[in-house]
Structure 1
Amino acid sequence: MLFFLCPTEAQNTYFPEPHALWEEKSPSSFNIDKVALQEVVDYAKANEYSGSRDLRIAILKGFAREPFHEILGPTKKRGGPAGLILKDGYIIAKWGDTKRVDMTFSVTKSFLSTVAGLAIDNGLITDETDLVKDYVWDGTFDGDHNSKITWQHLLQQNSDWSGELWGGKDWADRPPKEGHLDDWKNRTLNDPGTVMEYNDVRVNVLAYSLLQVWRKPLPQILKDHLMDKIGASTTWRWFGYDKAWTTVDGIQMQSVTGGGHSGGGIFISAEDMARFGLLFLNDGTWQGQPIISSDWIEKAITPSKPNPNYGYMWWLNQKGTRHWENLSETIYYAAGFGGNFIVIDKAHNIVVVTRWLEPQKIESFMEKLAKAAF
């Protein structure tokens, strides 16, 4: 088992200026083995995600067993492996085209949960344990089951919301590999808060519900309240499905997705992902300016009861089925299809971003980094 030091003081962290060149430092300035760190980079480059670079093809193949699955939103051909490693905010390693904008799939979920946190910080939602039906009354949360769902259930993916949204049926999203599909379709619903199930339809219900609360498009909220404040580029975009439009206050608005397995989601560069990760590393503060409350971040990385490895749309390195045995249990991360990751290592004041790393290689990548750096 590896042993870990206390995190570097936040005031020693470097924050890149908006649209400026990101300052780099030699690994040796942090007593990190430069040769060993290069081996970590070489490992990422040598273990590219095996799916097609034409992500439309990769998506259709990856989710071929879902009934009625189809591409509903925009996709984009991807680039090659890319990423950054930050120490105290400085770039100590990078590879590939870190400015290229690519799909980021379920990394989007961590951005979406942050928009929920901003809603609570701004008093639009009193508490995430509130019933969503008290905020969204258009029928989305009607019925004996759906009426019991709280914001927290949606954030932790344990709501078992039942219904259809934007052409997607909840029961058709990632169905079990065994048993007859009709058994799954007609199953007994789990009480909200008891069983975690990864399900993009229900994530999109959260995005739709937050749109009703903010009454403005969520990409605009993310831009104004967060991305502009951390100096992100103007290149990132957040898409919904082509037909995911609704009327709010007489204005047509698109409801965005929390992932990309039917297209859509956030399209973003590795450098903008790293800025987002650096914000979380520093408890929601950027250059002394609070952007998202530390209270929210603490809640977001608290294990849920049904799944100790999952918080509010962040994966947690806690004891459980996704535990990285030889790494700090303070680590948490955003993860998306195709090997997109933002890893926050609070114990060492490190942020890691990977694009198109074979997903099952992330644990060994992080272990190699730990051996090189610590």
Structure 2
Amino acid sequence: MRSSRIPVLKLVLGLGMFAAAFCSEGVIAEEGRAVVWPTQGWQTSTPEEQGVDSAALAALLELGSRNDFDSLLIVRHGKIVLDAYYAPYTADLPHVVNSVTKAVIGTLTSMALQDGLLKGTDQRMLAFFGERSAANLDDNKKAITLQSLLDMTSGLARDGRAGVNRSLESTAGMERSRDWIQYILDRPMAASPGDGFNYDSGNAHLLSAILAKVTGMSAEDYAKAKLFGPLGITAWKWRRDPQGISTGGYGLALHPRDMAKFGYLYLHNGTWEGKPLVSPAWIDRVSHATVDMKLSFAPEFRYSNFFWARPDRNVYWASGLHCQLVMVYPALDLVAVTTGRDNCPVTDIVDAIPKAVRSETAIQPDPAGTARLASVVRAISTEAQVEVKEAPPIASAVSGKTYTFSPNPLGVKSLSLTFVDSHPHYDFEIYSRDPTRGAEKISGPLGLDGRYRRGTPTAFGVITVKGRWLDEHAFEIERRTLGEDGRIRTWTLSFDGDKVSLRGKNYEGVDVAIDGQSGG
């Protein structure tokens, strides 16, 4: 990179981005050209030096703002040209990737095949669970293969219904069970294996259990040895089921830059630093997926090996609920990553990203486009200042009081808000959904200036809370867990002497009102 462009690069990418130091081993020739390997960290570049238009990237960031993105990252020719984070989410936090976890499980399955631990994807699924019995057993269930699990064509269904939108219902039932594998094995069959697409996380969880059986370790530990380690991924979180099996359909959390490494492995046909990690035949099946997902909103989408694809557009991607995407564009030598927390216009995103590419080689600098991109990056990286009302007299009266609640749909056992303090804060107790466990205590700072304050770390993010007075008696609380997808949770508290009324949505998104009482 020419030294005269370094200030421009810092301006465009400065918020949350840093240039990685590389040793000579970081560049290896592949098919006659130099390939930059990000094992120890990503190199960065201005967009135009990699043939990408800065103004188009700014438009992509604005699309992300309209759709509740948490981050957007683009790699071209092995270098990051955009790495932006939407406040209050920041680059230092891992992000729950939801069903991108499935693509990781699929990749580990391909590695187990290469290691000789699995004989082939035509192996029957039930052969790995000989110690168990399965309800609703018939010839169709006996015919389920590893490949039909990978392609979501196993025929397993809940209540006999199929489709992407039924997955959450099946997942809820699985989560409530004490033995997830048994719950999945006992499901009825909706179709013969291979007869139709039926998206369900149970397929991937069965494969996670199979990986544990054949490798002698959890899918997480196998990933650490075979996938995360070689790629230089050192920080992640991964849920496990009640039996200790790594969740196969969701539950993994990664940093966006590490999500990009996963995509970069596929971009380079399964090779990393000259070493084959994933079979090219496996990736060819992904990129030329043939399973018709039968999506009314995207009839051209196809599926295979836990990846989504548009073979007609030469793009495929790992996809997670609420816009966790790892997109691979082989013809453009490009990987794009999004994380989010709500809406996801997948078709718009997949189609918009290639439009930012102008050339295979560098293009002329665009000062106006660079300035626009820098402006948008600054805007999304800074939490907006919201005007708040002055605290009413009742704030002093209720500050520090503890209000208790009978068991209720919101799960709140007690709450206390401290307003009159140099460090305003909250203290909650949440009833456990597990009757064998006591209430969970959550405490942390409370932002009263219209901005979130970071508090309690959880398994998959950091709880942030802010609040504002709506009138003389009502106070609104907004809670977000950074790095965890999902909408902002809002509670409205109405104080009346020693009583409080709390309104909010329960876990199913239904409006609920509960009443609490203080001890005086």
**TM-score in terms of structure 1 length:** 0.72
Deviation at 1:198, TM superposition (A): 0.9
Q: How does 1:161-240 map to 2 (within 5 A)?
A: 161=156, 173=170, 189-232=190-233, 234-240=234-240
Q: C-alpha distance in 2, partners of 1:367/1:269?
A: 24
Q: How does 1:1-374 map to 2 (within 5 A)?
A: 11-18=33-40, 20=41, 22-48=42-68, 81-96=70-85, 97-139=90-132, 143-161=138-156, 173=170, 189-232=190-233, 234-241=234-241, 243=242, 245=243, 254-260=244-250, 265-307=251-293, 309-318=302-311, 329-356=313-340, 358-374=342-358
- 1:71 aligns to what? none
Equivalent residue letter for 1:144:
D
Equivalent residue letter for 2:319:
A
Q: Secondary structure at the match of 1:259?
A: coil
Which consecutive residues of structure 1, in runs of 5 or more, have no partner in the other structure?
Answer: 1-7, 50-80, 176-184, 246-253, 319-327
**What's the % identity of the aligned pairs?**
23
Change (3 A) 1:95 1:149: same
Q: Whose strand fraction is larger, Structure 1's or Structure 2's?
A: 2
Deviation at 1:212, TM superposition (A): 1.5
Kept in 1: contact 2:76–2:334 (CA 8 A)? yes
Deviation at 1:267, TM superposition (A): 1.0
Equivalent residue letter for 2:83:
K
Q: C-alpha distance in 2, partners of 1:127/1:235?
A: 31
Kept in 2: contact 1:145–1:161 (CA 8 A)? no
Kept in 2: contact 1:10–1:282 (CA 8 A)? no
Q: Secondary structure at the match of 1:316?
A: strand
Change (3 A) 1:139 1:224: same
Change (3 A) 1:288 1:223: same
Q: Secondary structure at the match of 1:117?
A: helix
Change (3 A) 1:10 1:352: farther
Task: Calculate the aligned-residue CA RMSD, in Å.
Answer: 2.9
Equivalent residue letter for 1:126:
K
Moved more, 35-44 or 343-352: 35-44
Q: C-alpha distance in 2, partners of 1:373/1:162?
A: 42
Q: C-alpha distance in 2, partners of 1:171/1:190?
A: 19
Kept in 2: contact 1:110–1:313 (CA 8 A)? yes
Change (3 A) 1:272 1:186: closer
Equivalent residue letter for 2:277:
I
Q: C-alpha distance in 2, partners of 1:219/1:369?
A: 31
Q: Secondary structure at the match of 1:146?
A: helix
- 2:447 aligns to what? none
Deviation at 1:87, TM superposition (A): 0.2
Deviation at 1:48, TM superposition (A): 0.6
Q: C-alpha distance in 1, partners of 2:168/2:329?
A: 35
Equivalent residue letter for 2:36:
Y
Equivalent residue letter for 1:150:
T
Deviation at 1:41, TM superposition (A): 2.3
Higher RCO (CA < 8 A, seq sep 6+): 1
Deviation at 1:304, TM superposition (A): 4.0
Larger radius of gyration: 2
Which consecutive residues of structure 2, in runs of 5 or more, have no partner in the other structure?
Answer: 1-29, 160-165, 173-185, 294-300, 359-520
Deviation at 1:290, TM superposition (A): 1.4
Q: C-alpha distance in 1, partners of 2:264/2:347?
A: 20
Change (3 A) 1:347 1:186: closer
Equivalent residue letter for 2:82:
A
Kept in 2: contact 1:303–1:316 (CA 8 A)? yes
